[in-house]
Amino acid sequence: MKRFSGIFFASLFLVLSCIFPISGNAIYVEVGVSYEGHVQNVGWQSPVSDGEIAGTVGRSLRLEALEVAITNAPEGADIQYTAFVSGTGWQAWVSDGTTIGTTNKAKAIEALRFSLIELPGYSVEYQVHLATLGWQSWVRDGQIAGYEGAGIRIEALRIRIVKISNNTDVGVEYASHIKNIGWQAPSVNGNISGTEGKALRIEALKKKLVNAPAGAEIYYQVHVANIGWMSSVANDEIAGTTGRGLQVEAVRIWLSDIVGYSVQYQVHIANLGWSAWVSDAATAGTVNQALQLEAIRIRIVKNDVLTVTVTAEDDAVSVVRDETLQMIATVAPANANNMVEWSVAPAEGAGAGEATIDEDGLLTGTANGNVVVTATANNGKQVK
């Protein structure tokens, strides 16, 4: 597949990868991430950080191992990660600079997952470059990047930590009723409610919004052993049971009458550990697998409607028929990154060209000349 010259692409990348601080509550901040890749025929590379590329692009070399650590983080915070290795499968979760993958075994990493520990208000986002497929969409917080068991090697990746909410306006307070403990003191804004490593089930939950506008409500619904999905409740009412020895196995949470915000949540599942973050009425946990929930985190994030225009120097990108260029848009807030819609139009005036662009931002010239590319992120939906 043809590419533009390295010099042009490098300058274009710098323009496209700028942060667009549309929302004052969602910008890149001081907490960062450092990572180092072990590459086929190369060995360990020098460490990179905060969205820089580890691995190689265009050299058909597999990424074989990886070490990752967060920087400038508060005490107790960490990043955990795991790799799906060719011929081996998923490895155990590790953290704090521990090596995942393999060295000197000629095995490729095919998929990766990352998750933050004790770092409320932040999200880890990551993107992988796959053999034959190129750069994939950014994913976050425990989601899988790459493909499990498809035999498609990861050749490069980027990782970044973003601040998703400063929790200075709308927040959430929540409490868990735990086996042998009873009701715990409330937790707030992404902190843990429940227990880890004690095999103690959550039996009931209650939640409420803090500093929310009049009329705003938080609804929630739990799946309980031997009962199934119970009716939804709201605003500090009890979901689940007490005194019956029944475990909560899954939960759904959503907001009502509060435009511009989203609720995100993550659960700790017996035998499985922390799930990926989900949002707005999605199911967190398992159903009909007899696995108890042991802890939960909940956070409210701003969910603005964004429009970001991405162009190169002189407000246009020069295209050549049948040649391609990978466009990259980095937008804020972070929870908009996976909902970018691309469009392309001929530039005004003489020298206008034509091109197409796919859902991943791959621009293909159809007529020589200049075009303007726009990336629009819109996730201002509200679940009622």
When the pLDDT of each residue in the chain is averaged and rounded to a whole number, the result is 81
The span from the CA of 147 to the CA of 184, in Å, is 40
* Banded pLDDT at 316 (limits 50, 70, 90): low
In this predicted structure, what is the pLDDT of residue 167? 44
Which has the closest alpha carbon to 268: 199, 367, 369?
199
CB 296 within 8 A of CB 202: yes
What is the structure's pLDDT at 315? 52
Categorize the per-residue pLDDT at 30 as very low, low, confident or very high, splitting at 50, 70 and 90. confident
Task: Say if residue 174's pLDDT is above 90.
Answer: yes
Nearest to 4, CA basis, from 379, 384, 368: 368
Asked if the model's pLDDT at residue 255 lies above 80, the reply is yes
Tokens of residue 292, six digits: 């108890």
CA distances in angstroms from 384 to 244, 262, 280, 380, listed in the order given? 31, 11, 9, 13
Task: Decide which of 207 and 347 is more confident.
Answer: 207
Measured CA to CA, the distance from residue 107 to residue 66 in angstroms comes to 13
Among 26-40, 99-113, 278-292, whose mean pLDDT is lowest? 26-40
pLDDT at 348 > cutoff 80: no
Contact 248, 205 (CB under 8 A): yes
- From the list 6, 9, 23, the residue with the least C-alpha distance to 331 is 23
pLDDT given at position 206 = 96
Whole-angstrom Cα distance, residue 83 to residue 93? Answer: 8
Write down the domain spans for the chain: 1-23+305-384, 27-163, 171-302
142-157 pLDDT, tens digit each: 888 999 888 999 999 9
- Which pLDDT belongs to residue 369? 84
Encoded amino acid at 154, one letter:
I
pLDDT in tens, 94-134: 998 999 999 999 999 999 999 888 887 788 889 999 998 89
Q: Which two tokens stand for residue 153?
A: 């090697």
| pTM of model > 0.75 | no
Q: pLDDT grade, residue 293 (50/70/90)? A: very high
What average pLDDT does range 49-68 have in this prediction? 95
What is residue 61's predicted lDDT score, i.e. its pLDDT? 96
* Higher pLDDT pick, 235 / 321: 235
